[in-house]
Amino acid sequence: MTTIKTFACELNIGLAPSANFPDAPATITADVILATIGRACRVLDFRIVTLEYKQFLSTTEPTLAVKLKVETYGPFGLRDLVEIVADHTCQDAIAVLHCDPVEHAARYRAGELDGELIGTFAASWGTFNPEYFERFAGVPCRATGGHLPGSGVQAHSADPYYARHGLVMICHEARGRRLWEALAHGHHVITGAKHDAVRAAAVGLLTGA
């Protein structure tokens, strides 16, 4: 009999891409990170139970605090998911805080928060330091601005390009090559190799500029 597995965690994901990814865009936006998490879950056959996020400014860069809970019957684990997200959002590593899957409360090991750094270049950053990890509950929510037209998404939670144009950038990788696809309200607009160039072209096509 196959047993369902549940993983719960909090993530701190930087919005500044690493120099270890030479084809990375100038910045990584919240919509890219959320879309990457969603696509990685589909690839690994994970069902998303909880996915919440808040953006804050850390001591080094704008960062996304993510609260995530997933379920799966398959062989993959949380590390597989985070490794995909780290690579596709051009991060050396992502800070992961392991949580109880029932109450989503932080887990502790030897009196310290149970966390780790996961990513291709995680070794360059040493070990998980709880003093630098921003807990999801501790990140203040910005004042809400109502919902986006025709959407259940609150305006304060949306990336500005999504808020104005319904624009989401998706990264596709095949044969070692990354391509960026711009979607507007779920419909294909344009695809290209450079994130910022594709986004600019998509905005031009959508606005007639």
pLDDT value of residue 61: 84
pLDDT value of residue 186: 65
pLDDT value of residue 145: 41
Which CB contacts under 8 angstroms, 24+ apart, belong to 113-120?
Answer: 117/93, 118/79, 118/82, 118/83, 118/86, 118/93, 118/94, 119/82, 119/83, 119/86, 119/87, 119/91, 119/92, 119/93, 119/94, 120/20, 120/83, 120/86, 120/87, 120/92, 120/93
Residues whose CB is less than 8 angstroms from the CB of residue 127 and which lie 6 or more positions away in sequence, other chains included: 116, 117
Query: Amino acid identity of 29?
Result: T
Could you tell me which residues are beta bridge partners of residue 187?
Answer: 184
CA 21/CA 119 separation, integer angstroms: 12
Q: Which parts of the chain sit beneath pLDDT 50?
A: 142-158
